[in-house]
Amino acid sequence: MGWLEGKVALVTGGGSGIGRAIVERFIEEGANVGVMELSEEKVSDVQRQYGNRVIAVQGDVSVLEDNERAVAETVSAFGKLDTFVGNAGLFDYFVSLPDFPKEALGTSFDQVFGVNVKGLLFGVKAALPQLIASRGNVIFTVSNSGFYPAGGGPLYTASKHAVVGLLRELAYELAPKIRVNGVAPGGTVTDLRGPAALGQEAVALSTVPGIEDLIKTTNPLQVVPTAKDHTSAYVMLASNKDSMAMTGVIINSDGGLGVRGLSQIAGGLNL
């Protein structure tokens, strides 16, 4: 029997990268999973691969009504909701403030914060009645950029610091009925994209030259984790049995950055 046998989760950004790995691992652990994904192609792929163990919904996390629809379709398919995983994100590909084109700054801010922060707020708001009913839990994907500089540019870093603050506030507000925790992955080679305002909507981390060497040389363990390597932390936090006394906690899955911090500035990448 898996750690999440009989549980139901909703994962945003579940069509690729860390989100897709979470979906697969939760299914392995016995859960049924709702997946909210912006890309229609990825929605179809997820539904095709996992069949009746998932309900895949196309939607934009920065739109409250799309979050409400994803919750409703998940509950309609599986009868309840135990865990909301706010995972969808946008990166800024290390564009520094001096290099930022001023005509794109405001729109880029809105796009990055719209997904990384507002998307979490809307997701929890939409899931709240179901999570109260199940005495469930929330898990946010944070980032090493929620704690340290140089893991992105100012927009990404600021948005992930905001996620840390949001997580702690919601952990306080929603106790004792709902636990709110997070996982902060370090550099991971995924399909993470950037904002359209910077022309980065087609850029993925996996296509950045030298990205694996950059990740390896900036963490003390000198590891390049895969998306799957982070999923055990999500499983534990989703299990009320195995993390029943944990709320407001963020598990850093970043190769040990906290003992040294980022040793190189990533801004030298030419994108």
Report the catalytic residues: 156
What is the H or E stretch that residue 138 is in? strand 137-141
d(CA 131, CA 179) in angstroms, rounded, equals 10
Angle at 52 between CA 49 and CA 55, to 5 degrees: 85
In this structure, what token pair is assigned to residue 204?
Answer: 């993925």
Q: 63: left (phi > 0), else alpha (psi -120 to 50), else beta? A: beta
Q: Which residues of 8-47 are buried (b: 16+ CB within 10 A; e: fewer)?
A: bbbbbbbbbbbbbbbbbbbbebebbbbbbbbeeebbebbb
What is the H or E stretch that residue 55 is in? strand 54-58
d(CA 110, CA 87) in angstroms, rounded, equals 18
Measured CA distances, 40 to 14, 74, 79, 214, 268 (Å): 12, 17, 24, 32, 34
Q: Helices 102-113 and 154-174 meet at what angle, rounded to 10?
A: 30
Q: Helices 64-78 and 119-134 meet at what angle, rounded to 10?
A: 30
3-state secondary structure of 155: helix
